[in-house]
């Protein structure tokens, strides 16, 4: 499909003006081109041409976004990710996550700097490539383990516990458990998600059973009491 940006069909320009030229000629042109010609060359499938574009002083985020969205060679995409000012751009990152040719090292490179809170929304996007979905979950889990207890608890509350589906197999440490037990819980969704998370600690289960929203809801109380970590003495009392 031809791509029209701002009323200019850059793919058509590439196909009519550059496509049949030798690779060396296209690469040479990419190093000095500007305006619509520079954007048109972003549709070149050869990574050598893409590298020449990235060395062009006229290259801006407009060209970086075109490359991230349309280039289909991992070498060219890796060259793009080496340019920090482009790799930090939200739109470039969005396109790289969708692009099936973005390699795992490039995905890790653009995702590692992101804070925990930004990684969860990216994880649930349906537009990402299958490789990106796998890497996103891996990076989220690794960052969750490295983050402070405050950041981890913050993620759980900001997502109402939805993030826990991506964290199966991980555990809460003592500081995180203490912070969870200091909070008041008013929404049933976060309680349900914690009740379904295998590693929710006994202390958190006990704290949840004391919340007013749970006391007023037999179904919530029931799923908490069924949790494998629910203390036996609480089951007996209830």
Question: Would you say residue 222 has pLDDT above 60?
Answer: yes
| 168 Rama class: left (phi>0) / alpha (psi -120 to 50) / beta | beta
Question: Would you say residue 168 has pLDDT above 70?
Answer: yes
| Per-residue pLDDT, 1 | 41
| Per-residue pLDDT, 231 | 87
**What mean pLDDT do residues 183-196 have?**
97
| Per-residue pLDDT, 188 | 96
| Per-residue pLDDT, 238 | 60
Confidence of residue 7 (pLDDT cuts 50, 70, 90): low
Q: What is the pLDDT of residues 50-94, one digit of tens each?
A: 999 999 999 999 999 999 999 999 999 999 999 999 999 999 999
| Per-residue pLDDT, 180 | 97
| Per-residue pLDDT, 39 | 97
Q: What is the pLDDT of residues 37-48, one digit of tens each?
A: 999 999 999 999
**What mean pLDDT do residues 180-207 have?**
97
Q: What is the pLDDT of residues 114-161, one digit of tens each?
A: 999 999 999 999 999 999 999 999 999 999 999 999 999 999 999 999
Question: Would you say residue 6 has pLDDT above 70?
Answer: no
């Amino acid at each position: 499909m031809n791509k029209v940006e701002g009323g200019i069909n850059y793919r058509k320009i590439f196909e009519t003006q550059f496509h049949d030229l030798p690779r060396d000629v296209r690469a040479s042109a990419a190093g000095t081109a500007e305006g619509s010609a520079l954007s048109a060359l972003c549709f070149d499938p050869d990574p050598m041409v893409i590298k020449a574009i990235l060395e062009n002083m006229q290259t801006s985020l407009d060209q970086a976004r075109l490359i991230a969205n349309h280039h289909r060679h991992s070498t060219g995409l890796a060259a793009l990710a080496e340019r920090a000012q482009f790799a930090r751009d939200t739109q470039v990152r969005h396109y790289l996550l969708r692009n099936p040719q973005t390699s795992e090292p490039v995905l890790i490179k653009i995702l590692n700097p992101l804070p925990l809170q930004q990684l969860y929304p990216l994880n649930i996007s349906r537009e990402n490539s299958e490789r990106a979905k796998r890497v996103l979950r891996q990076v989220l889990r690794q960052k969750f383990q490295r983050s402070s207890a405050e950041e981890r608890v913050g993620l759980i509350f900001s997502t109402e516990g939805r993030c826990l589906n991506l964290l199966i197999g991980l555990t809460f440490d003592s500081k995180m458990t203490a912070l969870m037990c200091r909070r008041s819980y008013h929404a049933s969704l976060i309680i349900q998600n914690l009740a379904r998370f295998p590693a929710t600690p006994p202390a958190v289960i006990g704290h949840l059973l004391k919340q007013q929203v749970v006391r007023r809801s037999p179904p919530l109380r029931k799923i908490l009491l069924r949790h494998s970590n629910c203390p036996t003495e609480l089951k007996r009392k209830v």
